[in-house]
Chains A and B, each alone.
Chain A
């Protein structure tokens, strides 16, 4: 009998559950799925402007067998203002017919002015929001954020997805740090190192199919460069080339490109692909002076040669030249960090803290100062590998005949 009673209770519970459907439930097609969000300073003082890129699923996927009900525009970009980010987002609800849903957001774009005013409220909001994923990319742009997120860019139908893929394939060019929300939080909360974020900008690059003669009539989002922060405020930019020097310190680089003059009298250039980076920062503490020894080992392989001389003759010269150039690159970024920005965004404080935890406590308060006075030496070595089958330069067969 007990099992019969149990079954009755179970059945009635199920019935009640069925009747009460709709409480807290929302179908996937009742959501306004945000794929990119932009943060600009508002028109009114102390206001913030949030712009969101919302996808129209029917227009993205097109006809799926069902009547699609599309409008032809894959994204719907809207903006709202408020005194705080949350208020601005709530204001989106005034005109969004669906509930704004953040879980599928790809990227957060911040305007430079906003970033220079301080981003702690933004970090707080997006960390507190349970819907957001931790692998959302975070970038800073010198352009208007709302413009960046409403620009149709890349091959993807959803621009947010295009920016997501831009980050994923960025490793090949190595011109921007891969900063997502998790790394943002990590650096932001860190006691040692300063925050950096990737930079995107609108560059007129696209060629219109209708007017091919007008090159660059369409703006595209470019991922290159770095925004440097001190505490929660942005203090400056690094260019794409400078960023590579930075990436040695903060990321596992996979490849990079470097070109040097031939050095054999001709005006051609030799281009090398860099790979297999090995980087180590060795801190030491002597006589109350901080010293860092930075060791960098790189493999380089020749990918393009416009030189007249054979590789075998030039190998030693090129290797030396590459080493010099790489050392310069690294020294330049150290110089920027120590002297220009006086901010440790190279994570050197972290290595020091790891090795000298007790000493760290004594200098923690004036770390930025200590860092800018630190003695940093750079040792670089480049191993040059060449595809040895093509040793001679590529010279037309007819010219060789005439020689």
Chain B
């Protein structure tokens, strides 16, 4: 890309009102959605012109601005003439919360194109930018790609401010920083870098900033553009930058010392650095009880292994290592394959292809006829192909399990990488047997161990092994056990205070506490004196859980 296009000489406004107006008109080329109107105060003491883009600017806000401009211009008439009229305007009145001056034509153009209103006044070499951004955008909705049973239902939208706000709502910490950056020569897309000062890994923000600053591109339409331009291992099939639609995921990542990159016009926010294990972790793991979280997480690990290896293992065993199958199963498989005219490898490839086709078709089809795909697909793949004797029933089950397993991986990108890696593994196992299987699995493993994500080993904390980070990898330990932040995070402050494991109140005899003896001479509730209540009782050496809870300590 020609760098001159990105660093053209800045143009500033002059004192000549007509020339300034012409400059803007010329630059925007009289687009049909550019609204432009000249105005004049009733006493003609002040005249000017305003520009905004229809649809991007909130027309009520524009009208409001204009009204107050005319009202105040009368009061301002004659005050301290000689000073730049825009400056005077800015310091004396406040018509809008976001109001600033700029001498630069580029800034003014960018403001117009961003939905702000630009006002040019006579006798001023500055343009007034009034924030009137307000366009129709999608409301905050449930994320389409990452569903949870328990957890917040809000997702990111296409508006970057809404997105950053929904993260800030979760972390009301003064150290949460948002840095702005504009990338894309044509699109001028706003990019925000979010991190928590003091928690974020040292040097990470500078690295992210410098990588982003190095990007020369004309357009950024989605965060995927950014992702591909700042990755550590651009040729790897694994994605070393996680993208998410969930604000809670971003907030959790920031609290673990990571950096998030918001890109305008997309609900997908990037999280980095990313470890492999993150793609298997779902938000539910942290919100449900830890037994459930750990169980389903382990289930997903199995699903990952299954979706990678199951069809390859089947092909390998059936075409090379028949002695490894228990006899009964061997006979069942053999009987199913009796009439199948293809080798197992071809059969498996056919079925995998058909399955991928079905998945893709289901995604691309217009929603109203989407259900037709599943009907046609399941009929063709599930039944007709078997009855026609083209494939064996076993391979249908194998491919279905493989597909189900790949659906259960929370991260779509990871599930895709495994879907793709399955094919070389399948071919290697179908042609070389166990040897090919092991070779490909090891090649993938060694590759995964060799790549990094923003300097962090991709397979950490399993390799290099970090003992204290194991509490959130295979299983999710209870929250009261997660004392420290991950090793990645900076700083030494703990996540959780000491002795957070809840316990019942300590008392000598719980029965007498819960049912205080009723004196015989009185009756009813009055008999129970307040000092008999368990929380009021002195405890032995440690204040009880309920005492702490109820007394607010």
Which residues does A use to contact B, with CB under 8 Å? 3-4, 7, 10, 14, 17-18, 20-22, 24-29, 31, 33, 35, 55, 57-62, 64-70, 101, 103-104, 106, 131, 133, 158, 161
The digit string for B490-521, where 1 denotes a CB below 8 A from any CB of A, is: 00000000000000000000000000000000
Residues in A neighbouring B335, C-beta threshold 8 A: 57-62, 64, 68
> What is the CA–CA distance of A43 and B318 in the complex, to the nearest angstrom?
38
- For the complex formed, measure the closest distance between the CB of B157 and the CB atoms of chain A, giving whole angstroms: 38
- For the complex formed, measure the closest distance between the CB of B335 and the CB atoms of chain A, giving whole angstroms: 4
Smallest CB-CB separation from A55: which chain B residue?
B331
Residues in A neighbouring B336, C-beta threshold 8 A: 61, 64-66
> What is the CA–CA distance of A63 and B332 in the complex, to the nearest angstrom?
10
Kindly identify which residue among B325, B332, B344, B424 contacts A14, using a CB–CB cutoff of 8 Å: B424
**B327:A106 contact, CB within 8 angstroms:** yes
**A4:B235 contact, CB within 8 angstroms:** yes
Which residues does B use to contact A, with CB under 8 Å? 235, 318-320, 322-323, 325, 327-328, 330-340, 343-345, 386-387, 389, 392-393, 424, 427-428, 430-433, 436, 443
- For the complex formed, measure the closest distance between the CB of B505 and the CB atoms of chain A, giving whole angstroms: 52
> What is the CA–CA distance of A14 and B440 in the complex, to the nearest angstrom?
10
Kindly identify which residue among B325, B333, B338, B343 contacts A69, using a CB–CB cutoff of 8 Å: B338
Assuming A14-B427, A104-B327, A161-B327, is B393 touching A64 (CB within 8 A)? yes
B330, B337, B338, B343 pick with most chain A CB within 10 angstroms: B338
**B387:A27 contact, CB within 8 angstroms:** no
Kindly identify which residue among A7, A17, A28, A104 contacts B319, using a CB–CB cutoff of 8 Å: A28
20 cross-chain CB contacts under 8 A: A3-B235, A17-B431, A18-B431, A25-B319, A25-B431, A27-B318, A27-B337, A28-B337, A28-B344, A57-B338, A60-B335, A66-B338, A66-B340, A67-B389, A68-B335, A104-B322, A104-B323, A106-B327, A158-B331, A161-B328
**A33:B330 contact, CB within 8 angstroms:** yes
- Can you add 19 more A-B contacts, CB < 8 Å, to A21-B431, A58-B339, A64-B336? A4-B235, A7-B235, A17-B428, A18-B427, A18-B431, A24-B320, A25-B320, A25-B431, A27-B319, A28-B322, A57-B331, A57-B334, A58-B338, A61-B332, A62-B335, A64-B335, A66-B339, A70-B338, A101-B322
Residues in B neighbouring A101, C-beta threshold 8 A: 322
Residues in B neighbouring A65, C-beta threshold 8 A: 336, 386-387, 393
Smallest CB-CB separation from B385: which chain A residue?
A66
A-B contact number at CB 8 A = 110
- For the complex formed, measure the closest distance between the CB of B322 and the CB atoms of chain A, giving whole angstroms: 5
Residues in B neighbouring A66, C-beta threshold 8 A: 336, 338-340, 386-387, 389, 392-393
Residues in B neighbouring A25, C-beta threshold 8 A: 319-320, 343, 431, 433
- For the complex formed, measure the closest distance between the CB of B422 and the CB atoms of chain A, giving whole angstroms: 13
- For the complex formed, measure the closest distance between the CB of B380 and the CB atoms of chain A, giving whole angstroms: 15
Residues in A neighbouring B387, C-beta threshold 8 A: 65-67
- For the complex formed, measure the closest distance between the CB of A146 and the CB atoms of chain B, giving whole angstroms: 22
Residues in A neighbouring B328, C-beta threshold 8 A: 161
> What is the CA–CA distance of A60 and B327 in the complex, to the nearest angstrom?
12
Smallest CB-CB separation from B322: which chain A residue?
A28
- For the complex formed, measure the closest distance between the CB of A58 and the CB atoms of chain B, giving whole angstroms: 4
**B333:A28 contact, CB within 8 angstroms:** yes
Residues in B neighbouring A27, C-beta threshold 8 A: 318-319, 337, 343-344
> What is the CA–CA distance of A77 and B379 in the complex, to the nearest angstrom?
40
- For the complex formed, measure the closest distance between the CB of B348 and the CB atoms of chain A, giving whole angstroms: 12
**A103:B340 contact, CB within 8 angstroms:** no
Assuming A28-B330, A161-B327, is B338 touching A68 (CB within 8 A)? yes
Counting from the closest, the 7 A-B pairs by CB-CB distance are A103-B323, A61-B335, A57-B335, A57-B334, A29-B337, A17-B431, A58-B338
**B323:A28 contact, CB within 8 angstroms:** no
> What is the CA–CA distance of A221 and B448 in the complex, to the nearest angstrom?
58
> What is the CA–CA distance of A339 and B235 in the complex, to the nearest angstrom?
81
> What is the CA–CA distance of A41 and B431 in the complex, to the nearest angstrom?
42
- For the complex formed, measure the closest distance between the CB of A168 and the CB atoms of chain B, giving whole angstroms: 13
Residues in A neighbouring B323, C-beta threshold 8 A: 103-104, 131, 133
> What is the CA–CA distance of A3 and B332 in the complex, to the nearest angstrom?
44
> What is the CA–CA distance of A55 and B322 in the complex, to the nearest angstrom?
15
- For the complex formed, measure the closest distance between the CB of A140 and the CB atoms of chain B, giving whole angstroms: 23
Residues in A neighbouring B443, C-beta threshold 8 A: 10
- For the complex formed, measure the closest distance between the CB of A128 and the CB atoms of chain B, giving whole angstroms: 16
Smallest CB-CB separation from B235: which chain A residue?
A3
> What is the CA–CA distance of A324 and B334 in the complex, to the nearest angstrom?
55
Assuming A17-B427, A28-B319, is B332 touching A64 (CB within 8 A)? yes
Residues in A neighbouring B436, C-beta threshold 8 A: 17
> What is the CA–CA distance of A133 and B392 in the complex, to the nearest angstrom?
27
- For the complex formed, measure the closest distance between the CB of B390 and the CB atoms of chain A, giving whole angstroms: 9
Smallest CB-CB separation from B321: which chain A residue?
A103
Residues in A neighbouring B392, C-beta threshold 8 A: 66
- For the complex formed, measure the closest distance between the CB of B513 and the CB atoms of chain A, giving whole angstroms: 50
**B432:A28 contact, CB within 8 angstroms:** no
Residues in A neighbouring B432, C-beta threshold 8 A: 17
> What is the CA–CA distance of A76 and B195 in the complex, to the nearest angstrom?
73
> What is the CA–CA distance of A158 and B392 in the complex, to the nearest angstrom?
22
> What is the CA–CA distance of A390 and B336 in the complex, to the nearest angstrom?
55
- For the complex formed, measure the closest distance between the CB of B449 and the CB atoms of chain A, giving whole angstroms: 15
> What is the CA–CA distance of A17 and B387 in the complex, to the nearest angstrom?
31
**B318:A28 contact, CB within 8 angstroms:** yes
- For the complex formed, measure the closest distance between the CB of B379 and the CB atoms of chain A, giving whole angstroms: 14
Kindly identify which residue among A21, A58, A59, A104 contacts B345, using a CB–CB cutoff of 8 Å: A21
Assuming A31-B322, A33-B330, A66-B393, is B337 touching A21 (CB within 8 A)? no
Smallest CB-CB separation from B443: which chain A residue?
A10
**A29:B338 contact, CB within 8 angstroms:** yes
**B334:A29 contact, CB within 8 angstroms:** yes
> What is the CA–CA distance of A69 and B338 in the complex, to the nearest angstrom?
7
A4, A17, A64 pick with most chain B CB within 10 angstroms: A64
Residues in B neighbouring A70, C-beta threshold 8 A: 338
Residues in A neighbouring B327, C-beta threshold 8 A: 33, 35, 104, 106, 161
Kindly identify which residue among B325, B340, B424, B430 contacts A29, using a CB–CB cutoff of 8 Å: B340
Smallest CB-CB separation from A21: which chain B residue?
B431
> What is the CA–CA distance of A148 and B333 in the complex, to the nearest angstrom?
27
- For the complex formed, measure the closest distance between the CB of B339 and the CB atoms of chain A, giving whole angstroms: 5
- For the complex formed, measure the closest distance between the CB of B98 and the CB atoms of chain A, giving whole angstroms: 48
Smallest CB-CB separation from A103: which chain B residue?
B323
Residues in B neighbouring A3, C-beta threshold 8 A: 235
> What is the CA–CA distance of A14 and B430 in the complex, to the nearest angstrom?
11
Assuming A25-B320, A64-B393, A67-B387, is B334 touching A33 (CB within 8 A)? yes
Residues in B neighbouring A67, C-beta threshold 8 A: 339, 387, 389
> What is the CA–CA distance of A131 and B334 in the complex, to the nearest angstrom?
18
B335, B345, B393 pick with most chain A CB within 10 angstroms: B335
Residues in B neighbouring A131, C-beta threshold 8 A: 323
Residues in A neighbouring B322, C-beta threshold 8 A: 28, 31, 101, 103-104
> What is the CA–CA distance of A51 and B32 in the complex, to the nearest angstrom?
93
Residues in B neighbouring A62, C-beta threshold 8 A: 335
Smallest CB-CB separation from B328: which chain A residue?
A161
Assuming A14-B428, A17-B432, A17-B436, is B339 touching A68 (CB within 8 A)? yes
> What is the CA–CA distance of A67 and B387 in the complex, to the nearest angstrom?
6
Smallest CB-CB separation from A164: which chain B residue?
B327
B322, B392, B424 pick with most chain A CB within 10 angstroms: B322
> What is the CA–CA distance of A31 and B334 in the complex, to the nearest angstrom?
9
Residues in B neighbouring A4, C-beta threshold 8 A: 235
A29, A67, A131, A161 pick with most chain B CB within 10 angstroms: A29
Residues in B neighbouring A58, C-beta threshold 8 A: 335, 338-339
Residues in B neighbouring A103, C-beta threshold 8 A: 322-323
